[in-house]
């Protein structure tokens, strides 16, 4: 589901005062500084191919510049341009002999040429950070497997014992290497250990099940697959189970050293799922793709990574490369629709999802995604219908199902179908009681409707405790206090909300109302004007303009009915 490129002090200072899109306006033939700024800005937007083009132009003006050379190397690698990346990696090592990614790129070049000794020399020189050590020793182990040597491969994996967080990687790849080299006893022991430690891992279940099938133990493989499918209806596991039940003999999970090296890179990339590590994950995915192994799952991961980076054009291109025959094809089409939606191609997105659902009315993920797209397009009637259809497919709702009930509640609430909405919100909370988004939405909705205010206040208080730096939730708590007539508390929380989200018109409007009630009328009008300037909804704009002209009417007292205990939903 990663690292910043090198930067010079001068460029950092310049970019601090230049918007990201402004630098792209430079004429690429103008100067080294113009191209450098444009390239840096494109890189910040993660438009890596454009960034590489600008920086390559800059390098023409400043041949041999080490900073530019290293940046271009990483950008070419991130785009999967391996011949160019290998070329620049060689140049990078002339001035930085231990550049980790350059060593890995050239090591894999040797690996693919079956020059395993040369590959190991490059891998070893990249092992000077934790992720470098993990990468180096996994790939080195597979280089020994490429030479048919089990003991040196296992001895290399033992070097991972220096870091306990590497244990699962070690055990899984020990199993894969032993299996590839025909040591079934060693492989089975390692597979069992890997499964016991991480039985929810897709790849461990795939590989272990594959091993069991190939050793005449199909019934055990079926139990393994079914156990996984109870928690995750994964198409790869479903396809493996169906194929096995038909008596089809599977191909080995790892058929070559390149497959094993690619699996190592895949394992590493999937573990790098944070904002700070996503750029490195992209590099590892491209390296894995260059090895040509299991391309469908690699392209799926590439698409998912580009989605996380908000590069929906690249995500769409990656998903389109998943083969039509792959069990992942339908999943790819669902994600293609998401990317099309984000690219503004809404009709295509909806048409693609409708076709998937028409072909398989029980495709829960596709139906929920269709509902999400309708909701994003503010087509709440079709959104609610889609979510209702998805909910009907759930035999026994569990904690992970809270989102579909929550989304359904939102859609019904926007349709002014409050009874249906409240029922779904409360079901979502029943399934997962500590979801801040549900607590906030239900609590805020009741606050707006002035019903069950005390319960609503407690809900929003809990949401704020769970997410104290969420501006919307903090505003909800301020608004709850406002509706209860505690204007001093309302001011305190609404002020914090404005600090967290200074450009939100609704939050500024709420603070203006709170200020007015405590007699700070000048500040109230300032906040209302601020709300007006930030493009509120037309209905809200009308109310804001009325307040700017006439202020607020006298306070309406909160009645006992508004603070009553919650209704039950049966």
pLDDT tens digit string along 377-412? 999 999 999 999 999 999 999 999 999 999 999 999
Check residues 457 and 569 and name the one with the higher pLDDT.
457
Rounded Cα distance, 213 and 553, in Å: 76
167 in Cβ contact with 197 (< 8 Å): yes
Sign for the pseudo-dihedral over CA of 285, 290, 295, 299 = positive
Domain assignment present for residue 391? The answer is: yes
Q: Are residues 355 and 425 in the same domain?
A: yes
The predicted structure's pLDDT at residue 177: 98
For residue 514 the two structure tokens come to: 């709170």
Question: Are residue 482 and residue 544 in the same domain, yes or no?
Answer: yes
Q: What average pLDDT does range 496-505 have in this prediction? A: 96
Is 258 a domain residue?
A: no
Same-domain pairing of 472 and 549: yes
Give a yes or no: residue 312 inside a domain: no
Q: Which two tokens stand for residue 560?
A: 């006992």
Identify the residue whose tokens are 């490059």: 122
- List the end-to-end C-alpha distance of the chain, in Å, as a whole number: 39
The alpha carbon dihedral of 93, 94, 95, 97 has a sign of positive
Residue 291 pLDDT class (50, 70, 90 cuts) = very high
Indicate if 454 and 538 belong to the same structural domain: yes
Residue 58: pLDDT band (50, 70, 90) is very low
Question: Which of 389, 406, 433 is the last residue in one of the domains?
Answer: 433
**DSSP per-residue string spanning 495-518:** HHHHHH-TT-HHHHHHHHHHHHHT
Q: Is 556 contained in some domain?
A: yes
The DSSP line for 61-126 is HSTT-HHHHHHHHHHHHHTT-HHHHHHHHHHHHHH-TT-HHHHHHHHHHHHHTT-HHHHHHHHHTT
Where a domain ends, among 373, 400, 433? 433
Q: What pLDDT, in 10s, does the model give residues 215-263?
A: 999 999 999 999 999 988 899 999 999 999 999 999 999 999 999 999 9
Mean pLDDT for 472-485 is 93
The reply to whether 371 falls in a domain is yes
pLDDT tens-digit map of 17-42: 223 333 344 444 455 555 445 545 55
- Looking at the fold, whether 511 and 474 belong to one and the same domain comes out as yes
- Say whether pLDDT at 13 is over 50: no
Helices and strands of the chain, counted as H and E runs: 32, 0
Residue written as tokens 């949401």? 463
| Cα separation, 144 vs 203, whole angstroms | 22
Residue listed under structure tokens 């895949």: 266
| Angstrom distance (rounded) from CA 86 to CA 109 | 8
In a domain, 562, yes or no: yes
Q: Mean pLDDT in the chain?
A: 88
State pLDDT tens for residues 114-171. Answer: 999 999 999 999 998 999 999 999 999 999 999 999 999 999 999 999 999 999 999 9
Same domain, 465 and 560: yes
Instruction: Please indicate, yes or no, whether residues 493 and 568 belong to a single structural domain of this protein.
Output: yes
Q: How far apart are CA 210 and CA 198, in angstroms?
A: 17
Q: How many domains, the chain? A: 2
* Stretch 502-523: mean pLDDT: 96
Is the predicted pLDDT of residue 104 greater than 90, yes or no? yes
User: How much is the pLDDT for 45?
Assistant: 55
Are residues 400 and 497 located together in one domain of the fold?
A: no
* 414-422: average pLDDT: 97
pTM (2 decimals)? 0.82
351 and 464, same domain (yes or no): no
Indicate if the pLDDT at residue 562 is higher than 70: no
In a domain, 316, yes or no: no
DSSP 34-54: HHHHHHHHHHHTT-HHHHHHH
Instruction: State whether 376 and 464 are in the same domain.
Output: no
What per-residue confidence (pLDDT) applies to 560?
Answer: 44
Q: What is the pLDDT of residue 274?
A: 76
- 568, 453: one domain: yes
pLDDT band at residue 477 using 50, 70 and 90 as cut-offs: very high
**What does the pLDDT read at residue 66?**
77
Domain boundary among 369, 403, 433: 433
Structure tokens, 93: 């090592």
Dump pLDDT digits (tens) for 300-352. Answer: 999 999 999 999 999 999 999 999 999 999 999 999 999 999 999 999 999 99
Q: pLDDT category, 199, cuts 50, 70, 90?
A: confident
Instruction: With beta carbons less than 8 A apart as the criterion, state whether 524 and 516 touch.
Output: yes
CB burial of residue 161 (10 Å; 0-12, 13-18, 19+)? exposed
535 part of a folded domain: yes
CATH number of the domain at 360, please.
1.25.40.10
Lowest mean pLDDT among 71-80, 188-197, 383-392, 529-538: 71-80
Domain that holds residue 538: 448-570
Answer yes or no: are the C-beta atoms of 6 and 67 closer than 8 Å: yes
Concatenate the DSSP letters of all residues of 300-349 into one string.
HHHHHHHHHTT-HHHHHHHHTTS-TTSTTHHHHHHHHHHHHHHTT-HHHH
The yes-or-no verdict on residue 508 having pLDDT over 80 is yes
Give 61-98 pLDDT, tens digit per residue. 446 667 788 888 888 899 999 999 999 899 999 999 88
Task: Note whether 465 and 558 are same-domain residues.
Answer: yes
């Amino acid at each position: 589901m990663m690292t910043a490129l090198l930067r010079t002090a001068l460029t950092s200072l310049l970019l601090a005062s230049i918007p990201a899109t402004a630098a792209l306006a430079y004429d690429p033939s103008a100067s080294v500084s113009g191209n450098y700024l444009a390239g840096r800005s494109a890189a910040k937007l993660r438009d890596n191919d454009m960034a590489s083009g600008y920086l390559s132009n800059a390098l023409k003006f400043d041949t041999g510049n080490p900073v530019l050379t290293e940046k271009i190397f990483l950008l070419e690698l991130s785009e999967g341009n391996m011949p160019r990346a290998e070329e620049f990696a060689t140049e990078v090592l002339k001035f930085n002999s231990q550049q980790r990614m350059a060593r890995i790129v050239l090591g894999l070049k040797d690996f693919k040429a079956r020059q395993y000794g040369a590959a190991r020399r490059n891998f070893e020189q990249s092992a000077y950070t934790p992720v470098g050590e993990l990468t180096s020793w996994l790939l080195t182990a597979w280089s020994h497997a490429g030479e048919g040597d089990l003991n040196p491969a296992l001895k290399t994996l033992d070097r991972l014992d220096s870091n306990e967080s590497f244990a699962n990687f070690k055990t899984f790849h020990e199993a894969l290497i032993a299996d590839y080299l025909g040591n079934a006893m060693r492989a089975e022991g390692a597979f069992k250990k890997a499964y016991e430690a991480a039985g929810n891992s897709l790849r461990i279940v795939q590989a272990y099940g594959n091993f069991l099938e190939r050793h005449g133990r199909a019934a055990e493989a079926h139990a393994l697959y079914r156990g996984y499918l109870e928690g995750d209806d994964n198409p790869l596991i479903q396809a493996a189970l169906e194929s096995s039940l038909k008596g089809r003999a599977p191909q080995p999970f790892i058929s070559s050293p390149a497959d094993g090296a690619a699996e190592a890179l895949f394992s590493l990339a999937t573990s790098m799922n944070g904002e700070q590590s996503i750029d490195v994950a992209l590099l590892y995915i491209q390296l894995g793709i260059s090895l040509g192994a299991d391309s469908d799952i690699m392209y799926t991961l590439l698409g998912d990574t580009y989605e996380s980076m908000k590069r929906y054009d690249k995500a769409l291109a990656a998903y389109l490369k998943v083969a039509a025959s792959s069990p992942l094809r339908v999943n790819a089409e669902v994600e293609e629709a998401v990317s099309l939606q984000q690219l503004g191609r809404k009709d295509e997105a909806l048409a693609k999802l409708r076709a998937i659902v028409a072909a398989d009315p029980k495709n829960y993920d596709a139906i929920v995604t269709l509902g999400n797209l309708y909701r994003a397009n503010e087509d709440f009637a079709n959104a609610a219908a889609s979510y209702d259809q998805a909910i009907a497919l759930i035999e026994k709702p569990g904690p992970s199902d809270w989102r579909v009930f929550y989304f359904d509640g939102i859609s019904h609430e926007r349709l002014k179908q409050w009874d249906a909405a409240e029922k779904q919100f409360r079901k979502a909370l029943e399934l997962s009681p500590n979801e801040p988004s549900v607590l906030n939405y239900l609590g805020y909705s009741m606050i707006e409707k002035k019903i069950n205010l005390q319960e609503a206040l407690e809900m929003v208080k809990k949401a704020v405790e769970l997410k104290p730096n969420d501006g919307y939730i903090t505003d909800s708590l301020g608004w709850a206090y406002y509706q209860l007539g505690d204007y001093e508390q309302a001011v305190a929380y609404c002020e914090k909300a404005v600090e967290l989200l200074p450009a939100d018109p609704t939050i500024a409007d709420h603070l203006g109302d709170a200020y007015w009630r405590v007699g700070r009328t000048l500040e109230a009008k300032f906040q209302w004007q601020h709300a007006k300037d930030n493009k509120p909804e037309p209905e809200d704009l009308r109310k804001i303009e009325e307040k700017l002209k006439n202020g607020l009417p006298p306070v309406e007292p909160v009645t006992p009915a508004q603070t009553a205990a919650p209704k039950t939903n049966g």
